[in-house]
Chains A and B, each alone.
Chain A
Amino acid sequence: MTSAAPKKKGRALNSSYEAAIVLKDYWEGAARHRVEGRPVAWVSGNVPIEIFWALGIYPVYPENYSAVCASIQRAQEFCETAEEKGYSIDLCSYSRVNLGIVLGKGVDDPTLPYGGIPRPDMLVTTRIPCLPQVKWWEVVREHFDIPMFVVDATMVELPVSESQRQHYLGQIRELIPFLEQKLAVRFHEDTFIETLRLSDRAAELWLDIMDLRAAVPSPVGSREMCGNVFPLVAMLGNPKTIDFFSHLRDEAQQCVQEGKGAVENERIRLGWDNIPMWYNLKFFSDVEDRNAIFTYETYLRYVWGGRMDLNDPWTAFANKHLDVWLNYSINQRIKTLLSDVVKFKLDGFVFHQNRSCKRFSMGQRDLSQVMQEKIGVPSLFIESDMADPRAYAEAPTRVKMETFLEMLEAKKH
């Protein structure tokens, strides 16, 4: 990382260029679905996504839309609109972007990315990532006055307990008839199981890619993988996801076999905790000038996807959806992270104290302390926000990161 203008970097994996096409297809598909009069639900991260694809309900992710707005430097204007409407600057920036659109010029405003966000017939959310998500949806419901369903869950320490599983499945058994009745769709278990199969195949491929990144040198860094993750969030059960991830996996595998790293002379391996700064993914690739690479992220490994044993599909489905980093107790996060830091041979870890994701950010100090004490891996804290660029202080953050890299480099000698 230098203070000189960064050189433009290409993708380490050519398949990563497909990500933008998949994303565009997804949003165009949502618009088409709406125009054709088929049901559209606004959903949030960690909803039981496979149910929607199996029922033919298009799951629209405003969170992703907010991340897209952030990545094209349009989040701030919508955040400011939401703030003018009374929504505090301290609230989740994904929600402020969305509320700025919904309560501002509206979701049909043609100047919006992808021509706008298709209007919802239904709102479905879950408490699994956080409680504010539910509150955000309550505001959206107030505006659109449409039916809403919330899937609740308590935090877990693995393995998921039987009572937690029954809590989850009980609600799914309430959700399915709710969707059938409100949106005139019909649930067929065979279709659902097939959707789970597609979902699991995509998760398998994704986890293969994640594991391949434990190799030294790492085949692909965080910037690229943050751009690739979207289908794992929103398109589990969609065959296009499998095609895309297969291409990525095959290419990453080849790189590992050939000993080809994303960074030519990889010396420092870094991990990342929390949602990235979508308006500044360059933060990840900038370290590559210092022969460092971000090759592990809790956000990409434990927030989305997850394998399922389809011999017992409903149990596996519940386990997968409850086994989410944001829903882990602090003790579970520590157990998981310690083992991964060793597996990925990380030299240092960066914790993003993300003002917009409190559930992710609380407990990070404990993770950092334990990592230092138990395995001697140091960490750095940076304070910022996932979508609102006003919370990011470029100069001090760069200095902190520079110093951290220097310290890690010195430790190597």
Chain B
Amino acid sequence: MVQTEFARILADPLELSRQWSREGRKVIGCLDSYIPEEFIHAAGMIPLRILGSTGNVTLADSYLPVFAGKLARSILEQGLRGDLVHLAGVAVSNSSDAVRMLYDLWGRHIPQQRAFLIDVPAILEGETNHRVFRQAMLDFKDELEKFTGKTLESAALRRSIAVFNENRKLLKEMASLLSASPPRLSAETYLDAILSGFVLTKEQHNDLLRQLLESSSGKTSENTEKLVPLHVSGPILVDRSFLPLVRKCGATLASEDLGTGSRYFWDEVDEVGDPVEAIVERYWNKITESYKTPMERRWLHLLNQIERSRAAGVIFVIEKYSDEDQYDYPVWRDRLRSRGIPSLLLDSELVLESEQVRTRVQTFVEIVKGGAFS
């Protein structure tokens, strides 16, 4: 069963990449959503999203303060501990201040591993920033070409675009099954399917998604009729125990606008015209992450998702010390409130499972169910 396969993959997310490396394939670790993975793919390498680890941080404490946040600290920990030693390189973009700082720290403390910096602006507005954004993307392409010793041909880029676009279409189809009424896919399966995509090749992921969609077609996910549909928003959700917890509280994920979810896969690359330019434009125009300005694209995406799923409330899962998301949260909360949509904030450090979280979700679900929100 494909669900079992996802669970098996996620039990040790780096195992497949170690295997690829043993087979002589080059794997590039990608640290955020502004790495043009199509370039890496077209260069014959495999992009692998690095999402940190829930383990204790000890080695990285020598270089980053606690308030740099668990994501950046745990990624550095993985690098220092040698968990990522099989990667041919890591790619960092100029995203949050903490992630950007990882590029410097990688160069200083893990110098044996190639680190690429895609030095894109944070402000995705204006002609000048567009020019600089485009150039940063082209520079990365040049660096990859030097690294592999091969020119990125248009035909290879088009093939990569097609593979990635198919992946995005399949994921969007999955999102529509999740938000269907009644849902045709469980929230837990949805999350596993998304997370698996970060550590599989896109071709493997597409195969599994097709199987999943085929097996889900016409079916209704079990026991969902009594569950309150909720939307989940935030930069990252990797704690697989969270959605079962939500279910136990009488609710389920019906839609999301996670940085590691629909914000990652929603926008496709235009398959007409010059492939390099099309890839650049895709990343320039994609739904913005919280560390990019303007914020409105992200807000509209959140609203669209809620409308699509008819979610009765929103849970914000925000990483502790993630300044960008913490500034956004009260703004989003107030805008939602003015539309009569209740929301709940949960602090996460890649992990959410706790008695306190359970109590808060339970209370929130009761409020949403009872319509006591005003």
Contact = CB atoms under 8 A, between A and B. Distances in A.
B68 to A, nearest CB: 6
A152 B331 contact: no
A150 B327 contact: no
Interface string A145-168: 000001010110000000100010
Contacts of A37: none
A265 interface: no
> Interface size bucket, A side?
35 or more
A92 to B, nearest CB: 7
Given A86-B330, A132-B327, A170 B135 contact: no
Contact of A134 (B107, B293, B321): B293
Nearest to B328: A135
A139 B291 CA distance: 14
B331 A142 contact: yes
A331 B117 CA distance: 15
Interface string A327-371: 001110000000000000000000001010011011111100000
Contacts of B331: 138-139, 142
A306 B96 CA distance: 27
Interface in A115-154: 127, 130-132, 134-136, 138-139, 142, 150, 152, 154
A330 B121 contact: no
A90 B323 CA distance: 8
Nearest to B101: A362
Contact of A331 (B63, B104, B122, B327): B104
B127 interface: yes
B68 A362 contact: yes
A171 interface: yes
A229 interface: no
Interface centre among A132, A134, A173, A358 (most CB of B within 10 A): A358
Interface centre among B98, B107, B327 (most CB of A within 10 A): B327
Nearest to A155: B100
A275 B125 CA distance: 31
Contacts of B125: 150
Contacts of A364: 65
B191 interface: no
Contact of A365 (B63, B123, B345): B63
A366 B361 CA distance: 41
Interface in B59-88: 62-65, 67-68
A135 B321 CA distance: 14
A90 B321 contact: yes
Interface string A63-104: 000000000000000000000011110111001000000000
Contacts of A131: 96-97, 122, 291, 323-324
Contacts of A361: 65, 67
A167 B67 CA distance: 30
Contacts of B121: 127, 152, 154, 167
Interface residues of B, number: 44
A150 B293 contact: yes
B98 A163 contact: no
Interface string B127-139: 1110110010000
B333 interface: yes
Contacts of A92: 323
B128 A353 contact: no
Contacts of A359: 97
A170 B127 CA distance: 8
Nearest to A150: B123
B327 A138 contact: yes
Given A90-B321, A139-B331, A152-B129, A134 B64 contact: no
A330 B65 contact: no
A174 interface: yes
Contacts of B97: 130-132, 358-359, 362
A358 B98 contact: yes
B128 A170 contact: yes
A130 B67 CA distance: 15
B297 to A, nearest CB: 13
A275 to B, nearest CB: 14
B295 interface: yes
B329 interface: yes
A167 B323 contact: no
A128 B19 CA distance: 42
Given A154-B119, A363-B105, 8 more contacts: A85-B330, A90-B321, A131-B291, A136-B327, A152-B129, A167-B128, A173-B128, A363-B101
Interface of B: 62-65, 67-68, 94, 96-98, 100-101, 104-105, 107-108, 119, 121-123, 125-129, 131-132, 135, 290-291, 293, 295, 320-321, 323-324, 326-331, 333, 345
Please provide the 4 A-B residue pairs with the shortest distance between their CB atoms, ordered closest to farther: A170-B128, A86-B330, A135-B327, A330-B104
26 contacts: A85-B330, A86-B345, A87-B326, A88-B326, A90-B323, A91-B323, A91-B326, A91-B327, A95-B327, A127-B121, A127-B123, A131-B96, A131-B97, A131-B323, A138-B293, A150-B293, A152-B121, A152-B132, A154-B119, A154-B132, A330-B101, A330-B108, A331-B104, A331-B107, A363-B105, A365-B64
